[in-house]
Amino acid sequence: MHNYITKLIALSLIIMLAGCSGRLFTVYRIDVQQGNAVDPEKVAQLEIGMTKEQVEFLMGTPLIADPFHPERWDYIFFLIPDYGPTQQRHLVVYFDNDRVSVIDNQSVPEPTPEVLAEEQATQEKLIANEKDELKELEAEADVPEYVKELEEIEEIDEVGPEI
């Protein structure tokens, strides 16, 4: 009986340890982000013909603005996760006469259809809310009284001041 209990305990310990991940006895490491956060959604908004100010507003200050190549801005992003593969994104924007001429999208993933559909739905909701608010404001406004007041003012102007 004693041998049976020992085997049962050993088996249960093996099963419990096998259920733990391989990182059981490892040191905690933080995620390290370096550079500009190059989001696919923001990259999708970049367009040929945008000014440098518009690009800087959308993407932020470039990580590399080379004084020898002022018409080229580099946006570089590294993500070294706790455990897993390193992510690297590199976006180069070229300007001609302070307007975007070329967008070199190196290793920046395209936005997924789910993300694009979610953005579209959000924009449609915002537009619908704005239309509803506008209708409420129009309904609340007392347009006939306002028009009457304007007509009275116009009549006073036509008659002229009383002396």
Report yes or no: 124 and 75 within 8 Å, Cβ to Cβ. no
Judgement on whether residues 75 and 148 belong to the same structural domain of the protein? no
The count of structural domains within the chain is 2
Judgement on whether residues 102 and 148 belong to the same structural domain of the protein? no
Judgement on whether residues 62 and 99 belong to the same structural domain of the protein? yes
Domain final residue, candidates 71, 87, 106: 106
Q: What are 101-110's contacts with CB under 8 Å, separation 24+?
A: 101/48, 102/48, 103/43, 103/46, 103/48, 105/43, 108/38, 108/40, 108/43, 109/40, 110/40, 110/44
pLDDT at 57: 92
pLDDT at 86: 81
Report yes or no: 71 and 114 within 8 Å, Cβ to Cβ. no
Domain final residue, candidates 76, 106, 136: 106
Judgement on whether residues 148 and 76 belong to the same structural domain of the protein? no
pLDDT at 141: 63
Judgement on whether residues 78 and 149 belong to the same structural domain of the protein? no
Expressed as residue numbers, the domain containing 152 is 113-159
Higher pLDDT, 62 or 24: 62
CA distance 43 to 38: 7
The answer to whether residue 74 scores a pLDDT higher than 60 is: yes
Condensed to tens digits (0 to 9), the pLDDT of residues 79-115 reads: 888 777 888 888 889 999 989 999 988 765 555 677 6
pLDDT at 160: 54
Judgement on whether residues 14 and 40 belong to the same structural domain of the protein? yes
Judgement on whether residues 62 and 123 belong to the same structural domain of the protein? no
Higher pLDDT, 14 or 78: 78
Range name among 31-35, 86-90, 144-148, 158-162 with the lowest pLDDT average: 158-162
Judgement on whether residues 94 and 147 belong to the same structural domain of the protein? no
Residue with tokens 């696919």: 40
How much is the mean pLDDT over the chain?
Answer: 77
Judgement on whether residues 130 and 54 belong to the same structural domain of the protein? no
Give the CATH number of the domain where residue 77 resides: 3.30.1450
The answer to whether residue 59 scores a pLDDT higher than 80 is: yes
pLDDT at 14: 73
Mean pLDDT of 69-79: 87
Judgement on whether residues 7 and 74 belong to the same structural domain of the protein? yes
Domain final residue, candidates 106, 122, 150: 106
Judgement on whether residues 118 and 79 belong to the same structural domain of the protein? no
